[in-house]
Structure 1
């Protein structure tokens, strides 16, 4: 019986980066630990420990930070409401969005938006943002190779 093979640390980094990049690209989708760990091909508990040790934050914290970063962009540059931004970046609860936003940014999403509105910068109409998002999803689904007949 041979000894179990162990992945080299660099090999694990490749899998962790793949999962982190997946989160960065698909932050608007519902993602849980199991789904993210599956991208890395590692059990969810092992993935949780490795990700946290490597990046200094848990996968869930990384995901919520990414969502809040994108929310800041939308609140600064669009005329979307806070509720629309909340859902556009993947949060399902306005309360959890607002509390996480305040925790990371230091002010509520409404205060942040009001402060940036005072600068007089032009805003992108929300309908353009949603149309662009739909076009992006549509083009990504069109890039998938067709399934073979009978599969």
Structure 2
């Protein structure tokens, strides 16, 4: 889940990979981490959104989609619940402190918003 946090959560696949049924996996995960897999994934997505709001010149809607939320309303509500601020308030308070924001086109390319292009750029660079 940490590697593929931006994609949809396939709980059956994750549980199968761990060797558990879906329901047993959720119980075991919650016992180990104190939150369900869905809550964990949502928290990690919001953490990634915080980073992007501080560093990238992207709209809140673009960031919402890049971190794996399909609804701007859900994203904003979970973001505020976790940080105490709306995404816009968070950006106003934390963005650009002594550093220029990464241009949105570069941030989108790095985040994989242009399928096929990011892979070819990484191959050329490395």
What is the TM-score normalised by the length of structure 1?
0.71
| SS of the residue 1:25 aligns to | coil
Query: Which structure's CA Rg is the greater one?
Result: 1
Q: How does 1:30-109 map to 2 (within 5 A)?
A: 30-109=8-87
Structure-2 change in CA distance of 1:39 and 1:138 (3 Å): farther
Equivalent residues, number: 118
Deviations 1:2-49 (A, max 9, x none): xxxxxxxxxxxxxxxxxxxxx111011011322321221211000000
In angstroms, what is the RMSD of aligned CA positions?
A: 2.1
Which piece of structure 1 moves more, 47-56 or 37-46?
A: 37-46
Structure-2 change in CA distance of 1:51 and 1:136 (3 Å): farther
Q: Which ranges of structure 2 fall in alignment gaps of 5 or more residues? A: none
Report deviation, 1:121.
2.6
Deviations 1:121-146 (A, max 9, x none): 3111121122123379737xx9xxxx
Deviations 1:50-97 (A, max 9, x none): 000011111011000000000000000011010000000000000000
Query: Following the alignment from structure 1 to structure 2, what is the Cα–Cα distance between the partners of residues 91 and 41?
Result: 27
Q: Which ranges of structure 1 fall in alignment gaps of 5 or more residues? A: 1-22, 143-151
Which piece of structure 1 moves more, 94-103 or 126-135?
A: 126-135
* Contact 2:76/2:87 (<8 A) preserved: yes
* Contact 2:55/2:96 (<8 A) preserved: no
